[in-house]
Structure 1
Amino acid sequence: MRIVLVGPPGAGKGTQATRLAEKLNIPHISTGDLFRANISRQTELGKLAKSYMDAGNLVPDEVTIAMAKDRMEQPDAEGGFLLDGFPRNVSQAEALDELLNTEGMQLDAVLDLEAPEEEVVKRIAGRRTCRNNSAHVFHVTYSPPKKEGVCDVCGGELYLRGDDSEETVRTRLEVYHTQTEPIIDYYKTQGLVVTIEAMGPVDEVTARALAALKREGDEK
């Protein structure tokens, strides 16, 4: 299957992308991983992307699209893929359509993870990260540490990261609404959008998504 996964910050895209790709036996292709891989390998695209990033500028769509094209052409993606973080806007969605059409392929579904905005803010702004190890993450409501402000694992100080602050989260949500959300309407005109309720236990959300994809596949 060829799938695009969309949803606001805090909807659990990264978690669900990893789980769904594993269940469906297709590669999980994320924009962040593409950038890191190309930069670490010092590919021409990686050097180009890094030059923009180092200057504090956004990486142009054409560079992101070229990276995605290269990744989708790898042997492990022949049977499908799950795109996470790409396309990020309508122009990228149009470019993806053009690219797939050129290769005689098409998307099977666009999974839209939906979560109430205030819940998203609560999810992210409630995170507390260990200063000693950023992999140790707690939540003031959902998974609080045994002792407030102290990591259960190593005893390090827990703090609120700057990009997890409520102000930053609301800014990220506004960017999502203005830049990325329009691709949902774009794909609705193609009958590809499958809306998934992203609230609840992780396993339940994964099961909902898999069931919806099966229905979509049966209908086609």
Structure 2
Amino acid sequence: MRIVLLGPPGAGKGTQATRIVDEVRVPHLSTGDMLRAAALADTEFGSEVRQTMASGQLVSDQVIVAAVMERISLPDARRGFVLDGFPRTMSQAVTFDDHLDRQGMTLDHVIELRADEEILLDRIMTRAQQARETGSAARADDNRDTLKVRLDAYNELTAPLIEYYRERSLLRSIDGLQAVDDVTADLLKVIGSGSSVA
């Protein structure tokens, strides 16, 4: 089962991805982890990733797609995967789909976790406050200004993918602001039935 999770930062994609993989027994793929692993590899591709990361530049869409394709070719991803945070741009989505087509593969589900931005901002502020109160380390990006920048980037670069996947009849949409267990239940219904619960 090949699944992509879409949604703004703070919508709970990482949390839900972890829960989905426990249920469907496929790996949760993180592009950050993939790029770090590629950079450690003694390959031409690894060298390219290392040089790009060392220069402080953003890794190109082509490199990110190549890292994803290399990762999903491994045996543990043969039955499928859950991608969270990829694709991030239209270019990545189109290139990824082209690669999948050439491999005779398709995505089974693209699931959007819908979330109101003001509620997300409040949720992040609450999370940061709770971390301070319990003495836990707050995430560096758990502040209103940083999240606003991330939300603006999401709206500009990633949100257009919602319509792209809708036109391909792949998109399903659920309320990402429900209780965590309710979001998980709705995700599993979508995966099991192939239809939206929204």
TM-score by length of 2: 0.90
Higher-Rg member (1/2): 1
Residues 159 and 83 of structure 1: CA distance in aligned 2, closer, same or farther (over 3 Å): closer
For the residues of structure 2 that align with 1:6 and 1:210, how far apart are their CA atoms?
A: 15
Residues 159 and 86 of structure 1: CA distance in aligned 2, closer, same or farther (over 3 Å): closer
For the residues of structure 2 that align with 1:210 and 1:42, how far apart are their CA atoms?
A: 39
Residues 44 and 164 of structure 1: CA distance in aligned 2, closer, same or farther (over 3 Å): farther
- Structure 1 gap ranges (5+): 129-139, 152-157
Residues 189 and 41 of structure 1: CA distance in aligned 2, closer, same or farther (over 3 Å): same
Larger RCO (CA under 8 A, 6+ residues apart): 2
Contact 1:5 1:13 in 2 (8 A): yes
- Structure 2 gap ranges (5+): none
Aligned residue among 157, 169, 186 for 1:179:
157
The percentage of counterpart residues that share the same residue type is 44
Which residue in the other structure is 1:4 paired with?
Answer: 4
**Which of 51-60 and 96-105 deviates more?**
51-60
The structure where helix makes up a greater share of residues is: 2
TM-score by length of 1: 0.82
Which residue in the other structure is 2:178 paired with?
Answer: 200
**Which of 77-86 and 182-191 deviates more?**
77-86
For the residues of structure 2 that align with 1:106 and 1:162, how far apart are their CA atoms?
A: 36
Q: Does residue 63 of structure 1 match 2:63?
A: yes
For the residues of structure 1 that align with 2:40 and 2:182, how far apart are their CA atoms?
A: 36
For the residues of structure 1 that align with 2:144 and 2:125, how far apart are their CA atoms?
A: 5
SS of equivalent residue, structure 1 residue 83: strand
Which residue in the other structure is 2:82 paired with?
Answer: 82
For the residues of structure 1 that align with 2:43 and 2:12, how far apart are their CA atoms?
A: 30
Contact 1:125 1:169 in 2 (8 A): no
For the residues of structure 1 that align with 2:23 and 2:85, how far apart are their CA atoms?
A: 19
Contact 1:149 1:159 in 2 (8 A): no
In the TM superposition, what are the counterparts of 1:29-44 in structure 2 within 5 Å?
29-44=29-44
For the residues of structure 2 that align with 1:161 and 1:12, how far apart are their CA atoms?
A: 14
The runs of 4+ residues in structure 1 deviating greater than 4 Å are 158-162
User: Structure 1 residue 149: deviation in Å?
Assistant: 4.3
**Which of 102-111 and 48-57 deviates more?**
48-57
For the residues of structure 2 that align with 1:203 and 1:70, how far apart are their CA atoms?
A: 33
